[in-house]
Amino acid sequence: MKVRLRLTVNDEPHEVLVASHKTLLEVLREDLGLTGTKHGCELGECGTCTVLMDGLPVLSCLALPADLEGRRIATVEGMADGGHLHPLQQAFAELGAAQCGYCTPGILLTAQALLRDRPSPTRDEIREALAGNLCRCTGYTKILDAVELAALRMS
């Protein structure tokens, strides 16, 4: 069964007709062509597909149209302000926090939500906030460094 779904993605309104069991991950990637959001398990286990829904991190692989009507979604494609990268994006690039880069969009958005809540988080608070996002390349060290650097630059 298809349902009509209206949602705002990166400040742009969209209206799509999708199967009622289609996940937000699939809607973003397949219907809206926003492939910046990646998938690692499609079971809500790895955090790779994290996007922001009304400012809060959610696993897009678990979000169904029934939850999505009228929501404001933010994906990695919407992080930069025009040609200016978000300080998190800048710091991740500069410090080598993205190796293969596959987990990066989900981690960037989770970190963005953290910094909105806590502009100057401690390293342990960053660890706690990112504990649901697996990364197999970096050992997390440069990711934590980059979030700290971005927080510093934003303050």
Partner 1 sequence: MTAKNRFTVVGRPLPKIDAWAKVTGETRYADDLVMPRMAYGKLLRSAHAHALITGIDTTRARALPGVFGVITGADLPRVKFGILPVSQDEEALCVEKVRMVGDAVAAVAAVDEETAERACELIEVDYEPLPALMSIEASLAHPEVRIHEYGDGPNVHKNVSLQFGDVDAAFAGAHLVREDVFYFEGNTHLPMEQHAAVAHWGPDGKLTLWSSTQTPHYVHRLLAKILDVPGAHIRVIATPVGGGFGGKLDPFAHEIAACKLSQLTGRPVKIALTREEVFYVHRGRHPVLMWIKTGFTKQGDITGCHLKTWLDGGAYGSYGVASTFYTGVINPVTYKMPVYKFEGARVFTNKPPCGPKRGHGTPQPRFALECQLDKAAEQLGLDPADMRRRIVADPFTKTANHLTVTTIGLGECIDKVVEASGWRDKRAAFAKGVVTGDRTIGERTRKGIGIACSAYMTGAGTAIYWNSMPHSGVILRADRSGGVSILCGATDIGQGSDSILAYLPAEVLGLDPKDIHVHPADTSLTPVDLGSYSSRVTLMCGVAAIQAATRLRRAIADAVAKKLAVEPDAIAFREGMVGVPDHWEKAVPFAQAVELGEALHGVLAFTGSYAPPKRAGKFKGGGVGPSPCYSYSACVVELTVDEETAAIHLDDVWIAHDIGRALNPLLVEGQVEGSIYMGIGEALMEEQVFRHDLHKAPSMLDYKSPTTLETPPIHTMLVETDDPEGPFGAKEAGQGPLLPVIPAIANAIYHAVGVRVDEVPITPDKVLKGLDLKRQGKTPRIGPERIPLFTFKEALAVESAFGQPLDAIAVRPFADEDREDRPRG
Interface residues toward partner 1, by CB under 8 A: 29, 33-43, 45-46, 48, 75-77, 79-80, 85, 88-90, 92-96, 98-105, 108, 126-128, 130-144
CB of 2 to partner 1, least distance (A): 13
Gap between the Cα atoms of 75 and 37, Å rounded: 7
Closer CB to partner 1, 70 or 81, in the complex: 81
Closer CB to partner 1, 5 or 130, in the complex: 130
Closer CB to partner 1, 6 or 20, in the complex: 20
Q: Are 115 and 107 in contact (CB under 8 A)?
A: no
CB of 54 to partner 1, least distance (A): 20
* Encoded amino acid at 130, one letter: L
Closer CB to partner 1, 53 or 146, in the complex: 146
CB of 95 to partner 1, least distance (A): 7
Listing DSSP states for 94-117 in one string gives HHT--SS-SSHHHHHHHHHHHHHH
Chain centroid to Cα 103, Å, comes to 9
Task: Specify the 3-state DSSP secondary structure of 42.
Answer: coil
